[in-house]
Structures are given as C-alpha cells and as structure tokens.
Structure 1
Amino acid sequence: MKKSLPSQVRYLLFICVLQWPVFLANGQDALQEYLETLAPDTELSFLIQGAEGEILAEYEPDKRVPSASIIKIPILLALLEAVEKEELSLEDRYRLRNQDKVGGAGELQFEPDGSLLTYRTLATEMIRISDNTATNILIDKLGMERIQGWLNERGFTATQLNRKMMDFAAIEQGKQNYTSPAEINRILLMLLDATSVSAETAASARQLLTACADRQTLPALLPKNLEVAHKTGTLDYVRGDAGIIFGKRALVVSVFVEHFQEIEDAEKIIAEIGRLAYEIYGR
C-alpha cells in the first residue's frame, strides 16, 4: 500500500507552491520547478520577455526595488541622447579632480589628479566595472534632474535616480535609487526595437553593455560564446542583473534578489534563472 507523505512535508510543499505563483508561457514548468526548490522566505522579483515585449515568465515584475548599479543603464542612455543632440561628444575630455573620486567599484579613484578622460572612457568604465567615480562625473555633467527627466518623459515611475554613488549622507536621509523588473526591461527593450531611441544610440548602448565584466549572475551558466548585454548591481541587501541574452531568440531578463544571507546564494539564483530562461525560451 502506498504511504502518504507526512503532514508536515505536505504543508511545506503547499507553502512552497503558494510562494512562487509564477506565470509561465507555453506550458513550460522547469522554471516553476526550480523556484519551488528555493526557501519560502527568498525575496525575488524577475521578468523574462521576448524581443517584442511578450511576457514569457514573471514574478512580482512591478515590485520597486533598490536599483544598485543597474541605475547606470538609464544614465548611459541619457548620456547617449546628449551625444546624439550634439551637446557633447564622447571624445570630449574631462580633467579628473580629487573631489570627483569616490570609493567602491572602479579604478578611476586611483588615477592621478588632472588625468584627462574622454566621456567615452567614463561611459565605458561605468558599465564595464561599474566605476562609481565615472558615474558621478557623468551625473554632474548631465544633471540629476535631466537624467530623471529622461525617465519621466518616457513614463517611468518606479525608476528613480535620487542620489549619486557612494553618497552615504543621502542614504542616511533615506534617499535611494530604485527600479523594477518591468521598467528596466522596458528600457532594455528600447535597445532592440530602436523606436524610442535612435538606432545609433541603441547600438552604442548594446556594445557598452556587452562589455560588462561582472559574469557572476545572468551569464554565469550560459555558453561562453553567447553575447549578453547587461548591467549588474550589488548592495548589502540586493543583488541584481538586467540584460539582453542574444540566443537564437533574443530575451530581455531582469532578476533581483533581496535580503540574502550570502551574496553567492543570490548570484546562484540569478544565474539559474538566466540559464533556464535561455534553455526554455532562447535557444
């Protein structure tokens, strides 16, 4: 006679199923099965879309989350818009000052005062290794209001640039930068359809995002030769990645994990979702 599961086990399985009511297209369930292996208290939000914006899988896609360095994607696009309007050139040079330098990610904080840096270099380093000094210089050049205006004009409400990088005084005042999986995906979709931005801006942004050196999240379990244009973000309480996976079918994917015990745990979750997205929908 077949024995039933103990009541405690049945209860835990029931709670896990309730915890991950993910929408899946085409009857695919491998992603659902993976999510059901996660601890019920895992704080996760993600969105997987096709190149036309069709939703393939989602979990709390409208949740507003601290953006960490993923906010650097709209900063990049605001910069490229200024270049397109011929307000500046990526070959223009900026003279580095001591007061520009901030800690955290990046190498420009170690460059000598007076070093001449092109805006192309600043944009490249902001994305490649998430250089905070480069980011703050670009925020000052463009103006925080202009960057937020770029977002507001396009209907973004969850995505907000409220402080510069490493601004601990602003953080103590409760100022934080935010986004959501749905909004950062919509920004990335602009780089595929090139209707909300020019084809040149879209191509430049994709090229820069492809050079992101942080490979611990979405690209970690993907084929090594697969192109991924993405930007990661890390704070003590959030690890995220948002990007375009250029498989046989292009996918736009953003994943955020919050309040994890170990950052490696969050990275593994993001990497597994990236792998499953590609294997189910992208190849």
Structure 2
Amino acid sequence: MVKLQYYCYYLILSSLLLGISPKPVSGQQLLLEYTATVDSTVALSYMVQNKEGKILGKLNADKQIPSASIIKIPLLFYLMEKVEKNELDLRETYELRKSDKVGGSGELQFIPDGNLITYAYLASEMIRISDNTATNILIRKVGLKPFQEWLITNGYKATQLNRFMMDFDAITKGHQNYTSAAEMNKLLLSLLNEKSLNKGSTLQVLEWMENCEDNSALPNLLPEGVAIAHKTGTLEYVRGDAGIIFGKQPIVVTVFIAHYSNLMNADSIIAEIARLAYLDFVE
C-alpha cells in the first residue's frame, strides 16, 4: 500500500513540474497497481462487477479455491428456493441433538440437547456467525447430493459441496468444498438483480447477509454507514469474503487470499481491494 501511494504521488508531482495535468487513473488500474504490491507468495484472486455484470476488475477470478464458509451463501440460496416451492417452511422447528453438534464457529454447539429451533433461526445463524452446527443441519435437511445437482444445473462448475462442516476425515480423504471468485459474483449478481429468488426471499437473504458479524475483511475500510451484505470464510490456508457493497452504483466483490502469512494480513488485503473498488466504482 505504501509503495502504491508513493507511486501515485510521484506521478502527480512529475506532472505538475512538467506543467501538464495528470491523466485520471482508472479504478481498474488502481486495483492492478495495488495488487502488484502484494507479496508474491500470496495467492490472490478477486472479481469486481457492477450491477449490470460489467467486470470492473479481476485477477485469477476463475481459479477454483477451497471455499471455507463462503459455500454457505449458495446453500442459503438453495434453501430459500425450497421455501419458495413450499418444500420447506422456515417456521418449522428442528429438535437439536447431541450428534448434530460440531466445533468451530457457532453457538448451537453449546445449546442443550432437545431444544426446538426454527429453520429460520438456523439459516440466520449460519450467516450471522457462520454456525457450523446450523449449517450441517440445513445440509441434511435439503440433501447434500440434491444441492450439488442444483449447482451443476445452474452452471456452477467450480462451486462444490463435497463434505459437511468440520468433517476432517473427509478432508483427509480429499473431499473438499470449492468455489471461485467468478462464480460467487455470478451468484450475488443474480441476487442483486432478483433473478434467482423472488423479492421476498431476496430481501430476507440480504437481511441475513447484512447481519454478518465478521466485519474485518470487505467492510473494514469502507466509509462509515456504507451498507454491505456479505459472508466471510476462513481456513488455515484460505481467507475469503464475498458480498454486495451498496451505494449510488452497487457493486459485487469477491476476494480470496491463499497462503497468507497471518489472518490480519489477509484481511488488510481484502479490505483494501474493497476500499479501492468502492471509491472508484460506487461513489
């Protein structure tokens, strides 16, 4: 970031000394210049698009990457499609069992067995605090294989749900969940333009995503008061965030960082990409 600032100052100063007006730097160019300063050992992929789907910036956007908890976004879409078809009622309750509980993110693992929980609450917690127990219950409700078939039918090739949350045995056997920046943007654009769900379901999904409590990545450097609907994902080797940043011209942004040195460093890169994208394409 520091190198980029010095570079911009140098261009402006040189232009002034020569008595010419500096040419405006495009948002895409600023993103490319910033990402060029990122440590080469970091594997970075991102995509920025406007509401119409025009690509405003991208890098390795089609690369398939372990999805971490970002896979919970398409799962939520599939769940809401079931609701629209009257195949599932969000008011219906589920009786929590000991066998449901897994570690990692979430509070349901600490709730007493036998508690009745609505599917609406499970969906909300899956996004709000990335609750893994809630996610696994929902996967079993809609079916892992039917969900994977839904992804394929809708043209999602990189995005795959091949295991439950916290299933380390599956991971050791090579079963991983995947997605890409391009496919997450495709999904979010369909939400933004109300092409995947009806208006009521769209508003509900946006509300849940706006309540995501992990604001250390995409939202972190955005101006105060800027609305964003997003979902983060974290593994030891991957950090990602995908969302819709609202404003005069809403944009869809997905960023993945792999092989990062530490989580704070990964978050700072994601946040800076979101900040540049907002300043150049939304304001």
Common fold: TM-score over 0.5:
yes
- Cα distance, 1:62 vs structure 2: 0.2
Tell me if 1:117 matches 2:117.
yes
The answer as to whether partners of 2:217 and 2:267 remain within 8 angstroms in 1 is yes
Distance 2:258 2:269 in 1: 11
Structure 1 portions without partners, runs of 5+: 1-24
Q: Which residue of 2 aligns with 1:220?
A: 220
With the length of structure 1 as denominator, give the TM-score of the two structures.
0.89
Match of 1:206 in 2: 206
% identity of equivalent residues = 55
- What does the per-residue CA deviation read over 1:124-181, in whole Å, with 9 as the maximum and x for residues that have no partner? 0000000000000000000001211221111110000000000011001000000000
Contact kept? 2:245, 2:278, Cα under 8 Å:
yes
| Matched AA of 1:207 | E
1:46/1:61 contact within 8 Å kept: yes
Amino acid at match of 2:243: G
Whether the aligned pair in 1 keeps the contact of 2:41 and 2:259 (CA below 8 Å) is no
Q: Is the 2:48–2:55 contact (alpha carbons within 8 Å) kept by the matching residues of 1?
A: yes
**Separation in 2, partners of 1:203, 1:148:** 24
SS at match of 2:102: coil
Q: What residue number does 2:57 align with? A: 57
Matches of 1:28 and 1:98, distance apart in 2: 50
- Report what 1:161 is aligned to: 161
Deviation at 1:105, TM superposition (A): 0.2
Instruction: Give per-residue Cα distances to partners, 1:238-260, cap 9 Å, x unaligned.
Output: 00000000021100000000011
Please tell me the residue identity of whatever aligns with 1:232: T
Secondary structure of the corresponding residue to residue 244 of structure 1: strand
Shift of 1:197: 2.5
- Once the two structures are overlaid, the 10-residue window that deviates more, 184-193 or 146-155, is 146-155
Tell me the residue number matched to 2:282: 282
Residue in 2 that maps onto 1:235: 235
Alignment of 1:66-215 (within 5 A): 66-215=66-215
- Match of 1:45? 45
Return the offset for 1:85: 0.7
Q: Deviations over 1:205-245 (max 9, x none)?
A: 11111110000000000123111000000000000000000
Which amino acid is 1:50 matched to?
N
Change (3 A) 1:275 1:116: same
The whole-number CA distance in structure 2 between the counterparts of 1:228 and 1:147 is: 26
SS of the residue aligned with 1:29? helix
Identify the residue that residue 251 of structure 1 maps to in structure 2. 251
Residue 200 of structure 1 and its aligned partner are, at CA, apart by: 2.2
Shift of 1:59: 0.2
Secondary structure of the residue aligned to 1:133 is helix
Q: Deviations over 1:179-200 (max 9, x none)?
A: 0000010000011111232222
Q: Is the 8 A contact 1:191 1:203 kept in 2?
A: no
Distance (whole Å) between structure 2 residues aligned to residue 28 and residue 122 of structure 1: 39
Kept after mapping to 2: 8 A contact 1:62/1:181: yes
What is the number of equivalent residue pairs in this alignment? 259
Alignment-derived partner of residue 9 in structure 1:
none
Q: Which runs of 5+ in 2 are unaligned?
A: 1-24
- CA distance in 1: counterparts of 2:202 and 2:27, whole angstroms: 33
**Cα RMSD after superposing both structures:** 1.2
Distance 1:268 1:26 in 2: 22
Asked if the contact 1:231–1:243 (Cα under 8 Å) also holds between the matched residues in 2, the reply is yes
TM-score, length-normalised on structure 2? 0.89
